[in-house]
Structure 1
């Protein structure tokens, strides 16, 4: 039985494709746990690819759908040579038509509409255009599995479609994607806002695998397969190495020193190397809830007004 269950997982999604998004993720986790101690199972790697690279999808709430209904919709494309080998349609959303462009990039397993509270506050600013999108395999966009490179591809495609942003805001995985995408496009915005940014990708993978009981040897086998697929270990994708901006960038960073997803030690080590980044600690906010926190939103608005000289 164990071999049969595992064999299904070798398909990219396999039987999981027929399941609703959250049930699918729970089934992936259940299958992974069920197979961890199976002596007949030689390799957990295919299951780990799905566990690591499948972003769970949470349905839209009514107030989020109402916000999207007011948006101007657009579509950009991103090539996916990693999982589907097709060109993905990425869904984008715009509000307003002012000269000041504000781009938002959401985190892993999230969507543009998760910025609803922040977007509603941004809509109060004069002469602005707010741009957001659902990253590959997240929200309403195409894709099955995702990774940082696909997130970066989406950031770049959206910027090339909508124009150079004056303000760029990113949460979690989206904050890391912003740093890479902006550097690759040689863009330095008037203000970069990073909220609970990812710092060390490989350590996050290891943390997640450890949390479900994946043995160290199987973790290393996955990391080795990652290198085989991409030519580098995920440790390459670390914010300290990816961050190429100098002290001239106006960068404001919000974090929670008790964030369970973002160990504070990782963040502080990064910040010590970049003392020009201005920071504020919202202790106890929570990794996901921090973008909805009124105090965070108020501070983001203050930062934007100062950067864009809005009274």
Structure 2
């Protein structure tokens, strides 16, 4: 099993971040309730900031469409040169990422005969908002599926893969799934965050309690053991052995519980380079094309 590291420690090592951590520790000592609110505000704000993704030019044939969502919108991207009736695949990015990270995979799927759809999750890419959380991501997945699904396949990266696995366990309509660099569950990220801030596990416990109370969902439902018993789709998991952001152990635990799971371990690709690795993209396409039936309903 891969040793668990704390990726948040390196992220919050800059002088500015250390100042923020010191401020949070002070608030936490004076008022644990206020410290928890500020911690959640920081925790649910994706970094780096998203205006670069909003201004980035996206080459044709990819075109953007916007769907109303929770008082704002979510952006989806489709290829204008794909004829109707092809098997449709949803592609989902991770935290602090955006849809364009999966454009190479989308192009590979289009060349293999699929109709790919890229999603900018809330507060990411060109979707509206500046803060988001995993439960909102799950709702966004169901919202876009209500408009464009059901899916012949879904491909998801990192925290997007965790949100997708939870959505699949809750009935997201998809025939097959490919999960890339599966992120640890949110309770683990909260512990890492609290450790990096120097506040200890008490803050992580309060953060978890606040989120579960507000959302009405146990964060235990994002644990690999819970998901493994409930995701029934044939699922390919791809994970790099040296991934320091998302330890391999989470994917190993999930695949052990899946009734139709397969784990492919890469070397030297890290957390994000596997998204554009030609061998990985071909593997994902082959997995989604296996025993391909006629295309599902196309809107």
TM-score, normalising length from structure 2? Answer: 0.80
More RCO (CA 8 Å, sep 6+)? 2
The alignment covers a number of residue pairs equal to 272
RMSD of equivalent CA atoms: 2.8
Aligned to 2:122: 136
- Would the alpha carbon gap of residues 269 and 27 (structure 1) be closer, same or farther in structure 2, given more than 3 Å must change? same
- Would the alpha carbon gap of residues 180 and 232 (structure 1) be closer, same or farther in structure 2, given more than 3 Å must change? closer
Aligned to 2:107: 120
CA contact (8 A) 1:29 1:51 kept: no
CA apart distance, 1:131: 0.6
Structure 2: gaps spanning 5 or more residues: 1-13, 295-299
Secondary structure class of the residue paired with 2:58? helix
Secondary structure class of the residue paired with 1:261? coil
1:66 aligned to 52, 58, 78, which one?
58
CA contact (8 A) 1:256 1:285 kept: yes
Aligned to 1:296: 280
2:132 aligned to 146, 170, 180, which one?
146
Aligned to 2:21: 33
Q: How does 1:47-196 map onto structure 2 within 5 Å?
A: 47-56=38-47, 57=49, 59-60=52-53, 65-67=57-59, 69-79=60-70, 87-95=71-79, 96-98=82-84, 99-126=86-113, 128-185=114-171, 187-189=173-175, 191-196=176-181
Q: Deviations over 1:10-55 (max 9, x none)?
A: xxxxxxxxxxxxxxxx898455312144386323212211221111
Q: Deviations over 1:147-197 (max 9, x none)?
A: 1121111111111111311111111111122223334345241x2111111
The separation in 2 between residues aligned to 1:142 and 1:178, in whole angstroms, is: 20
Secondary structure class of the residue paired with 1:308? coil
CA contact (8 A) 1:78 1:154 kept: yes
The separation in 2 between residues aligned to 1:276 and 1:182, in whole angstroms, is: 13
Aligned to 2:207: 222
CA contact (8 A) 1:55 1:108 kept: yes
4+ residue runs over 6 A deviation:
none
* More displaced stretch, 35-44 vs 297-306: 35-44
Q: Deviations over 1:181-214 (max 9, x none)?
A: 334345241x211111124220122123313423
The separation in 2 between residues aligned to 1:304 and 1:149, in whole angstroms, is: 26
CA contact (8 A) 2:237 2:255 kept: no
Q: Deviations over 1:233-281 (max 9, x none)?
A: 53343232234133xx221110112221222233322222226301110
